[in-house]
Amino acid sequence: MKAVVNTSSKTSTIRNVLFVGVMTICSLTICVSMLASTMQDIKQQRQALINELKSYASIIAFNAQASFAEAEKAIIQTEAGFADERENIYNDYAHTEESRLRSFEAVPMFHNIHIYRLQQSTGKLALYSIYNARGVGPYPAQLEKVSSFIEPQLSDNYIELSQEIRLNDAVAGFVFIRASQQELHSYIQNRVLFDLFTIFCALIVVYLLTRQLERRFTTPINQLMQLVQSVAKDKDYHLRAPQNNIEEFNVFGKALNTMLDKIERQIIKQQQTEVEIRELYQGLEQKVNERTEALKSSNQELLNTLATLHQYQNQIVETEKMASLGQMVAGVAHEVNTPIGLGVTASTLLQDKLTGIERAFTEKKLTSSQLGRFLSESKENLGIIYRNLERAASLISSFKQVAVDQSNDSQRSFNMAQLINEVLLALRPNLKKTRHQVLVECPPELIIESKPGPINQILINLIMNSLIHAFEDNDQGEIHISVKISGTRCQLEYSDNGSGVPEAIKKRIFDPFVTTKRGEGGSGLGLHLVYNLVTQALNGKISFDSTLGFGVKVLIDFPVINNSHKSTS
């Protein structure tokens, strides 16, 4: 049964992910850095403009201070006592100050400059001198708010600031400046255009470099992918991954080559096993045909079973799902070879005895005691031949049932306990080499309707997984299989007391290629296959729990039809 692959979720290629990722990171980095640089530059330019205006304000305040001092000196010299006389003297000097202010026509950013004088008679500010740039109308006097402009205030187009005029350590007035930000706005606009052009050029360079980087990474990936596709399509395991100048791809290629080497050796070993089985079959067929016609039916069944075994061995090489069957072939062949060897030995002995009787009969030297002993020995040898051939046929029949179930995913009614026993019998060559125990808790009369093939494969994969991984350092492990029926659901619990699974891979235990035997022959597909069989073939659920050093526990829950009551009725 081929695994069903879910293609509904949206996927993307490494090329696209790499390109989008690099372009996004570089674009964000460039834009953020340019934005930060521009904002910092604009801030510095604005501060520089403010500092420049403060310098001009200080100069104007210094000149106004001198003007105020000269006016006060003139008032003292003329001994002007009336307020009108004092104001006239100040007005004369104010005209002189206005002449000075007109020199700021050379500075286009100055739109309005006011000089305010603090009147001694009233204690209020009065407009002393004023400057308005050409084409710019007069600006209202800021008598009430001028002191608030000590800290510069910025609007959309203007900067307004004031500076105290001090005379004899006392405030004598204020300088008010209203300047345009047009030059600053022009600078900001040019800077933004320059930054956009710089970002555009940088993105073009990043695009070209990203494409180059993308080709550098995707070319070896495509080579490895084409190699895997060729191996999967043409079954050519002689192909090898080429060397690569990128270390990670080179390590992956070496691991892939190691896997292909092991697969190739396994195929060669499998072919040698097939040759041995074929030779064994041919010799067995010849000897059995020579000895007795009565064993023809058993021999024919053995022939058919061996042919079925040969077919399933070919399927093992082609699909990963049948990999567990390949592990049992060599063991079953060894198990079958023992009773067949005993049968061949007994039949050979029988033939030798028959030759001696035939010679004695021809020479007319045959005695009744000799004939009786021959008949007794013949009966014993035929019994040995029959028992051992029946044992071989039983082993092959059980293995055949396991193989048939693994290749067939159809739903039928079967005895659950009998299915588990057949799996254990098929795995007996692997189990008898150890002192591990398999404990089964399943009602012997439990008959359910489900898919025995996936259940068969699940049990084989779980047991082999325990033998290979869990009991590596344990000579007397224990496997526990429990089956319970709850309504229309079957709960199959599998546990062992082996070494357990590290916490780092427990959450990824059902992912493909996750194994603790990396580089030692472990493919990491066993539990992934179990997960697919439970969730897809049986439409069930599976959970996994393990603590390092205390074994594993797998709980499988899938829908069934309980036919036990039908069989009992």
Residues 416, 403 within the same domain:
no
Alpha carbons 491 and 563: distance in angstroms, whole number: 16
Q: Percent of the chain scored above 70 by pLDDT?
A: 82
Q: How many domains does the chain have?
A: 3
**CA R_g for the chain:** 50
Residues 173, 121 within the same domain:
yes
Mean pLDDT of 493-521: 79
Alpha carbons 505 and 502: distance in angstroms, whole number: 6
Residues 337, 277 within the same domain:
yes
Q: State the pLDDT at residue 187.
A: 87
Residues 175, 290 within the same domain:
no
The edge-to-edge listing of strands for the beta sheet with 489-496 is: 437-441, 478-486, 489-496, 552-559, 541-546
Within a domain: residue 225?
Answer: no
Within a domain: residue 174?
Answer: yes
CB 340 within 8 A of CB 284: yes
Chain position carrying tokens 């699940």: 458
Chain position carrying tokens 């009551």: 565
pLDDT category at 334 given cuts 50, 70, 90 is: low
Residue 57 above 60 pLDDT? Answer: yes
Largest CA distance in the chain: 183
Within a domain: residue 119?
Answer: yes
Alpha carbons 192 and 169: distance in angstroms, whole number: 47
Q: State the pLDDT at residue 342.
A: 64
Q: Higher-confidence residue: 11 or 102?
A: 102
Residue 330 above 70 pLDDT? Answer: no
Alpha carbons 406 and 529: distance in angstroms, whole number: 13
Mean pLDDT of the chain, nearest integer: 79
Residues 284, 331 within the same domain:
yes
Q: State the pLDDT at residue 545.
A: 92
Q: State the pLDDT at residue 510.
A: 85
3-state secondary structure of 276: helix
Residues 85, 116 within the same domain:
yes
DSSP state of 426: H
Residues 160, 244 within the same domain:
no
3-state secondary structure of 121: coil
Domain boundary among 189, 206, 224: 189
Within a domain: residue 465?
Answer: yes
Within a domain: residue 7?
Answer: no
CB 253 within 8 A of CB 229: no
Give the CA distances from residue 158 to residues 129, 161, 278, in Å, rounded to whole numbers and listed in that order: 21, 10, 102
Residue 479 above 90 pLDDT? Answer: yes
Q: State the pLDDT at residue 318.
A: 43
Residue 404 above 60 pLDDT? Answer: no
Q: Higher-confidence residue: 295 or 462?
A: 462
Instruction: Give the residue from 331, 469, 468 showing the smallest Cα distance to 396.
Output: 331
490 token code pair: 């079957």
Q: State the pLDDT at residue 567.
A: 55
Q: Is the dihedral of CA 381, 386, 391, 393 positive or negative?
A: positive
- Structural domain including 313 reads 238-407
Alpha carbons 180 and 45: distance in angstroms, whole number: 14
Within a domain: residue 489?
Answer: yes
**φ and ψ at residue 120, rounded to 5 degrees:** -75, -30
Residues 284, 361 within the same domain:
yes
Residues 376, 425 within the same domain:
no
The 3-state DSSP composition of the chain as helix, strand, coil percent (nearest 5) reads: 60, 15, 25
pLDDT digits (tens, 9 = 90+) for 197-239: 988 898 888 888 888 877 777 777 777 788 788 878 877 777 7
Residues 455, 398 within the same domain:
no
Q: State the pLDDT at residue 553.
A: 93
Q: State the pLDDT at residue 16.
A: 77
Residues 383, 451 within the same domain:
no
Residues 424, 378 within the same domain:
no
- Amino acid identity of residue 482, one-letter, is S
CB 429 within 8 A of CB 332: yes
pLDDT category at 415 given cuts 50, 70, 90 is: very high
485 token code pair: 């029926």
Within a domain: residue 559?
Answer: yes
pLDDT digits (tens, 9 = 90+) for 122-141: 888 888 888 888 888 888 88
Domain boundary among 407, 429, 464: 407
Within a domain: residue 195?
Answer: no
* Residue 514: count of CB within 10 angstroms of its CB: 19
Chain position carrying tokens 């460039």: 30
Mean pLDDT of 181-188: 87
Please count the helices (runs of H) and the strands (runs of E) in the chain. 13, 13
Domain boundary among 189, 219, 250: 189
Q: State the pLDDT at residue 167.
A: 85
CATH of the domain at 169: 3.30.450.20
The model scores a pTM over 0.85: no
CA atoms within 13 Å, Cβ hemisphere of 39: 6
CB 141 within 8 A of CB 119: no
CATH of the domain at 539: 3.30.565.10
pLDDT digits (tens, 9 = 90+) for 344-369: 776 777 777 788 788 878 887 778 78
